[in-house]
Structure 1
């Protein structure tokens, strides 16, 4: 466990040292304030309080999806670049298992996605407090935390998908391209019974907050189980390929 923690710290430092590390944070924070200003200027009555604003804009219909895009772009090369730069050979000759090396990279990608989610949430809350105030605060923290949870689950699934694609293709460009294509298609709904077992209709858990469902027969617990299955399958495929691939 101590070795894994050290690997995670090393991976985070590698990510942190990139010149572009702070760009996604700056963009998301800037967008949070710009969106708040624009809505306040042209549709001041759209949100009753900072809580309404933060909840709505955290969903994937708001900045939640932008967070996911930034997380995909930022973490897409965490494995692929090791191959393209030839550093994977040096990484694997050290006295560490391939499983622990890959696990540290995956955990780092999840932490990166979480940090983007939290940074955006804080920026949205500050922006919302400036433009919409604190009226109706009772019980709204639960809604805020719920919206962040739904958004982060969505991000985790796509990070895991991009992580697997990066291992399979060993190309950062292909990873971003394929994952973005999936992102554009995930709003597609096919009104067929079999489709509820696919990944796309289960991604947005926020649809259940008002008692709705993407397709008849789907529930929140059903979608959580389906997402867990897909995440496990993505990880299994990625780890199996990484452990067996010859990098000589």
Structure 2
């Protein structure tokens, strides 16, 4: 386990050394403050309390999509750049299995997404407390934590998709392009019964916690969780199988 943790630490340090590492954190630290100020200044009744603002902003329909996009850009090259720069050869000659190496990269991707989510949550809480009243409304801590979970699941599915595409294509540009297309597509609903088995209508689990109608008839929280689990398993299986069998020139 210690050896695997060192692999994860090594991957994290490689990301940390990039000049652009802190830019996404700066964006997500400032963005909620700007939204809170605009909402308070031009639509003071939009949020009855700071808790209501925090809950809405943590959802995939709030800052969730921004976090997903930043996570996609930040992690798209974690595998493909190793191939383009030729450094993958040095990874594979170590006394570590290909599965362990790729798993360490995936864990790093999840930790990166989690760190973005945590910083965003802190920024949203501070912004909400600054611009909106603490009391009022019926939003509690349980609702806020639920929104936080929905937002992280949304980001986690996307970074898993990005991870798989990066392994399969070995191209950072293609990975970002396909992932951005997917982000745009997840708001499109095709009103056909078969579409509920696709990834996109199942991404936003918050519709089940807010009393909204599911995107399509027959969809439930359990159904969407199952679909997401199946898709993530397929993404990871495809990525690991290709990485283990690919020849490195």
| Equivalences for residues 68-79 of structure 1 within 5 A | 68-79=68-79
Separation in 2, partners of 1:6, 1:136: 47
Separation in 1, partners of 2:43, 2:29: 21
Separation in 1, partners of 2:191, 2:102: 38
Separation in 2, partners of 1:230, 1:142: 28
Paired position in structure 2 for 1:237: 238
Indicate whether 1:122 and 2:138 are aligned. no
Paired position in structure 1 for 2:100: 100
Separation in 2, partners of 1:27, 1:220: 32
Separation in 2, partners of 1:84, 1:73: 17
Separation in 1, partners of 2:229, 2:83: 28
- 1:17 is displaced (CA, Å) by 1.1
- 1:97 is displaced (CA, Å) by 0.3
Paired position in structure 2 for 1:223: 224
- 1:61 is displaced (CA, Å) by 1.5
CA contact (8 A) 2:48 2:137 kept: no
User: Relative to structure 1, is the Cα distance of residues 137 and 190 closer, same or farther in structure 2, using a 3 angstrom cutoff?
Assistant: closer
Paired position in structure 1 for 2:7: 7
Paired position in structure 1 for 2:85: 85
Q: Taking structure 1 as the reference length, what is the TM-score of the superposition?
A: 0.98
Q: Taking structure 2 as the reference length, what is the TM-score of the superposition?
A: 0.97
Long gaps (5+) in structure 1: none
What SS does the aligned partner of 2:188 have? coil
Separation in 2, partners of 1:234, 1:96: 22
- 1:59 is displaced (CA, Å) by 1.3
Separation in 1, partners of 2:143, 2:9: 32
Paired position in structure 2 for 1:25: 25
- 1:137 is displaced (CA, Å) by 7.7
CA contact (8 A) 2:51 2:139 kept: no
| Equivalences for residues 154-173 of structure 1 within 5 A | 154-173=154-173
Separation in 1, partners of 2:14, 2:138: 42
Equivalenced residues, count: 248
Long gaps (5+) in structure 2: none
Paired position in structure 2 for 1:148: 148
Separation in 2, partners of 1:181, 1:198: 15
What SS does the aligned partner of 1:54 have? helix
What SS does the aligned partner of 1:61 have? helix
Output the aligned Cα RMSD: 1.1
- 1:138 is displaced (CA, Å) by 7.0
Separation in 1, partners of 2:136, 2:170: 50
- 1:139 is displaced (CA, Å) by 6.2
Paired position in structure 1 for 2:181: 181
Paired position in structure 2 for 1:210: 210
